[in-house]
Structure 1
Amino acid sequence: MLAQLFINNIAVIERASIDLERGFTVLTGETGAGKSIIIDAIHAVLGERTSRELVRTGTQAASVSALFTGLEPDVLAALGELSVPEEEDGSLLIQRDIRLSGKSTCKLNGAPATVSMLKRIAPRLISIHGQHESYELLSPEVHMDYIDSFARVEDLRGRYQASYRRLRQLQGKLEDFNTDEGEKARQLDLLRYQIDEIEAADIRPGEQERLAQEREAIRNSEKIAASVELSKALLSGDEDRGGVLSDLAQAAAEMEKAASFLPEAQEAAQKLREASYLLEDADAALHSLAVEFDPSALDAIEERLDLLYRLGLKYGGGEEKILQYLADCQERLHAIEFSDEEREKLEAEYEEEKKRAIALAKELSQKRQGASGKFTAAVKKELAFLNMPGIEFVTEIERVPLHTGGCDKLRFLVSANKGEPAKPLSKIASGGELSRIMLAVKTVLSGMDKIDTLIFDEVDTGISGVAANRVGEKLKQVSHNRQVLCITHLAQIAAMADNHLFISKHTEKGRTFTKVEQLDFEGRKQEVARIISGDAVTELQLKMAEEMLQRS
């Protein structure tokens, strides 16, 4: 359950720490006092989209923290899958910060988390039913979800939807195969031309770089030859000069003579001899160097490089990319040439998957048919208790072509008056009736899940009198095995609560502040009397409030 809610700088709430109990808790206060802000704060910690407008004026950031205790095993397992740190007492602390910069941060038990992680956990922790959820009843898509939840067919529906997705994928591939023959012929001609052009070039990886080096060598052949000949002359000598080799050999010999008398000269002699040997090796390498270039080969190299360049422009750059493009073309050509075989194979797969999807859809439909009668009977029973005894509530199920939900089109129909035909909710129900129908539906579904906290935001809209009493009794009943929080403006509902939170606001130094306080019996009496009177509270109204509280 939600044990504590801490709000900091959210709209007009500067700071509020709200301790919550099990059972039935109501939140009351004047219109505009900040009750809806508390719901907004809860939505924030559940991962819903937030607005920077929530940040209190004059501050840079706002935060909300929610502490949950007594978690169900499936919630703990889900937290484990998300690698959320485990607390010794099995609790969960969710924190969310909202900044004016537009960024928000989340934490689960102190560890950084994402909004998507909050959204995965939220449906297992709290179910919020507000005025907009009541209007969801006007959407037939939601009706199917309710029946499926009541029938407990989540696994079957998941298997059907997986089969339906596979069926649509196969259908898309078949449609791709069914291009007209003219387009197919054009694709074949283009692919064969591209394959022939690349294969005729006989491309080898690294060829372009090697040819570019050869071209540069031919272009600079005279410079290369001149440098080699000069280097030979400098080392070995020629008609005009002695070479470095002979001079160095003589210097080494002279230093070796000196070293026989002067040991300190030994190192210099040794290094001169080593240098002489190295230069002799260099001279040998120069004389073995082939400096022969065929200028006539330059045209062939230029032509080959030009071909590689043009193919690169057409097919993607270097040799590796051109060869990869060739492989892709060959694969596409094979797919088209053997498309008839592939189509036959896909058609067989499609028919098999279609049979599977139809079988699952029919099984799903049968379970919905079986559950819908029990569901509508249970809802009618709850509606009778909620002072709507004459209402007719039925589930209409129509067979339609396969879609994501199966082979059914499902919607709820109601008739508020005996003898009148049942019609869609959008044409019959008022706001107050929608609120009670939603409460009846949620009551019937309450045993279908393990969500420990239910929040009803002004579920009493549009009702009064006996109906209000019945709604309060129903909320009290639902709270027997879980935590129920309700924002209300009705004294009948407020009086039936186990716990009562009063939201008020005041102005101080030109700023508005909201306060949340837990009311004792006397405080509750004053608040219930205020709700009754709507203005100045009289002794009679106080006595009425006290009687309502005692009776509840």
Structure 2
Amino acid sequence: MIEQVRIENLGVIASAELDLAPTFTVITGETGAGKTMVLTSLDLLLGGRADPALVRTGTDRAVVEGTFTVAPDGVAAGRAEEAGAELDDGALIVARTVPAGGRSRAHLGGRTVPQGVLAEIGEQLVTVHGQSQQLRLRAPAQQRAALDAFGGADHAALLDTFRRAWADLVAVRAELAEWERSAGARAEEIARLRAGLDQVDALAPLPGEDVALREEAQRLGHVEELRTATGRAHQALTGADDSAPGGVDAAALLEEARRSLEHGAADDPALGDWAARLAEAAYLVSDVATELASYLTSLDADPARLAVVHERRAALAEATRLHGPDVDALLAWADQARERLAYLDGPEDTGERLRERLAAAERATGAASAALTDSRRAVAKHLARSVDAELAGLAMKGAHLTARLSALPEPGPHGGEDVELLLAAHPGAPARPLGQGASGGELSRVMLAIEVALATAAPAEEATDPRTFVFDEVDAGVGGRAAVEVGRRLALLARSSQVVVVTHLAQVAAFADRHLVVSKDTEGGAVVTATDVSSVEGPDRVRELARMLSGQEDSETALRHAAELLERATVAP
């Protein structure tokens, strides 16, 4: 619910403050006084587009601020808290600043927020009905949306089920189409994978084999150099070689040193520690000498083995060049290739599996579409009864609204049928599409009846926020008794929701609980609005209604008529 709106430097309005009633507020004023700017200010608070051209001439910025009452546990409050906003005793302060040059800024509960956040919260709090909504409601897509919106939570659940089934059907169809379209490429990929796997299977490489073969080739190709280096080392350790027997044995020398140190350890324990370390060294020297001797005996030139190693390395190099930098990467590629081949041409036929999924998706979509169609038929009857009752109260007794559901060859993204609203403007008249079978005044009343029916329908989700409905001259083209009935119906709606109406009809304005007048004055030859929007009561309100009736607020006849309107503008309990 909107408690208050403050406007500064917006269009022709220099400064205005609107205190709205929690029930029925009407806004009137002469053409050009600024009623449109009042609605523009609401649009800005609800996240509408900001145009620098809206800034009042001679000022640097326009500011609009609104105070909204929200339920602490409502959707709007939750979204506001997510954005970092704070509530002030259940009130949410929304502000919009539009500079003459540059980008606009939005504030919510003391925090700067993106414009889209205001739009999200506005959707939860305010519904605007105006001439543009009437035009949109003539489109079949909008009529289908209106019918679905009237259906309530159970219908919304069926619609959601259908949409999910339809999305799954579209996805499976696309996957199967892509599978079938890529049959040639898939065959080439299968052949390429099989050829690569055949090569790998024929080689049967072992993990790390390329590293082991490289080391073996290095060793076999340098036998003489290795023999010389190893022989010298062995001689240095043992003190002898094949050509000079009887040399000094390094292990023996270490043993002699150890014994000498052990002998002296009786006088100094430190020598005992060194003796133990020499014993370890002697053991290591002896062990290395033994291993070198064994290695020397194994160093035989083997040209045949070297050729085999070179040939094996060449084969592995060719395979790794195609499928990986080394043998380990080649084996990893082979594992992935086998998985991919199993998907493309394995024991489970992927194409058949996709066709089975498609059939299941078609059955699910068909069932969801049928359930949605049945629900739409029921909702259409309920909507027709509600609108017919509204039309009877708007001096169109006997007018009848119907919803025609035309089956599609197969379900589409919005269901299994097209939806079109038809109107029989009076008994005996043929039912025609909206806008074709009614006069301008009748069409305005029909649109108002539909909008009020939608406004009072059960919402798709449990709502905890007070709801506000703004009607912008939806009574255009209506007069006389019909205008009185429009005002009466809006007053009835205001019993359960906040209603704000911009109107030029005194018959409608007379039913309001609060009457705000946007006036204009002339200062220095320029037309500007008053610094505030005035709330009229008593004689002032009678004069405003008289002005709306005749254009002459001091006419005795108009004043009597206005007083009579106020007296009769009552709604039965």
TM-score by length of 1: 0.72
2:484 counterpart residue number:
469
* 1:391 correspondence with 2:393: no
Does the CA contact (< 8 Å) of 1:395 and 1:412 recur in 2?
yes
| 1:332-366, Cα deviation, whole Å (9 max, x unpaired) | 77755569822222222222222222222222221
Q: Give the distance between the partners of 1:11 and 1:193, measured in 2 at CA.
A: 76
AA in 2 matched with 1:431: G
Does the CA contact (< 8 Å) of 2:70 and 2:76 recur in 1?
no
Q: 1:60 to 1:174 in 2, by over 3 A?
A: farther
Q: 1:545 to 1:173 in 2, by over 3 A?
A: same
| Matched position secondary structure for 1:426 | coil
CA shift, 1:331, in A, is 8.1
1:31 counterpart residue number:
31
Q: Give the distance between the partners of 2:188 and 2:437, measured in 1 at CA.
A: 60
Q: Give the distance between the partners of 2:402 and 2:51, measured in 1 at CA.
A: 40
CA shift, 1:71, in A, is 3.1
2:468 counterpart residue number:
453
The counterpart of 1:523, out of the listed 540, 558, 561, is 540
The counterpart of 1:425, out of the listed 434, 437, 446, is 434
CA shift, 1:475, in A, is 0.7
1:210 counterpart residue number:
none
CA shift, 1:405, in A, is 1.9
Q: Please give the residue correspondences for 1:342-381 in structure 2 after superposition, counting only pairs within 5 Å.
A: 342-381=350-389
Which of 1 and 2 has greater Rg?
2
2:69 counterpart residue number:
69
| Matched position secondary structure for 1:127 | strand
CA shift, 1:21, in A, is 1.2
Does the CA contact (< 8 Å) of 1:506 and 1:513 recur in 2?
yes
Q: Give the distance between the partners of 1:504 and 1:196, measured in 2 at CA.
A: 91
1:175 counterpart residue number:
177
Q: Give the distance between the partners of 1:102 and 1:75, measured in 2 at CA.
A: 32
Identify unmatched segments of 5+ residues in structure 1. Answer: 203-306, 316-321
1:159 counterpart residue number:
161
Q: 1:538 to 1:371 in 2, by over 3 A?
A: same
AA in 2 matched with 1:404: P
2:451 counterpart residue number:
442
Q: Please give the residue correspondences for 1:251-330 in structure 2 after superposition, counting only pairs within 5 Å.
A: none
CA shift, 1:503, in A, is 0.8
1:549 counterpart residue number:
566
Q: Give the distance between the partners of 1:53 and 1:491, measured in 2 at CA.
A: 32
AA in 2 matched with 1:501: L
Q: Give the distance between the partners of 2:136 and 2:379, measured in 1 at CA.
A: 21
Q: 1:334 to 1:75 in 2, by over 3 A?
A: same
Q: Give the distance between the partners of 1:61 and 1:519, measured in 2 at CA.
A: 30
Q: 1:355 to 1:28 in 2, by over 3 A?
A: same
* 1:479 correspondence with 2:494: yes
RMSD: 3.8
AA in 2 matched with 1:500: H
| 1:400-437, Cα deviation, whole Å (9 max, x unpaired) | 22122221221111122433321111322333222211
Q: Give the distance between the partners of 2:73 and 2:444, measured in 1 at CA.
A: 32
Does the CA contact (< 8 Å) of 1:135 and 1:434 recur in 2?
no
Q: How many residues matched?
A: 449
| Matched position secondary structure for 1:497 | coil
Aligned-pair identity in percent equals: 33
Q: 1:525 to 1:344 in 2, by over 3 A?
A: same
AA in 1 matched with 2:453: V
AA in 2 matched with 1:369: R
Q: Give the distance between the partners of 2:48 and 2:338, measured in 1 at CA.
A: 50
Does the CA contact (< 8 Å) of 2:162 and 2:415 recur in 1?
yes
| Matched position secondary structure for 1:43 | helix
Q: 1:496 to 1:325 in 2, by over 3 A?
A: farther
Does the CA contact (< 8 Å) of 1:82 and 1:117 recur in 2?
no
| Matched position secondary structure for 2:146 | helix
| Matched position secondary structure for 1:428 | coil
Q: Please give the residue correspondences for 1:199-218 in structure 2 after superposition, counting only pairs within 5 Å.
A: none
Does the CA contact (< 8 Å) of 1:138 and 1:425 recur in 2?
yes
Does the CA contact (< 8 Å) of 2:162 and 2:369 recur in 1?
yes
| 1:133-190, Cα deviation, whole Å (9 max, x unpaired) | 1122211222222322322112221222122112111111111111164454456678
Q: 1:547 to 1:346 in 2, by over 3 A?
A: same
Q: Give the distance between the partners of 1:419 and 1:11, measured in 2 at CA.
A: 49
Does the CA contact (< 8 Å) of 1:78 and 1:121 recur in 2?
no
The counterpart of 1:494, out of the listed 509, 526, 549, is 509
1:147 counterpart residue number:
147
| Matched position secondary structure for 1:98 | strand
CA shift, 1:504, in A, is 1.8
Does the CA contact (< 8 Å) of 2:83 and 2:113 recur in 1?
no
Q: Give the distance between the partners of 1:9 and 1:542, measured in 2 at CA.
A: 34
Does the CA contact (< 8 Å) of 2:92 and 2:109 recur in 1?
yes
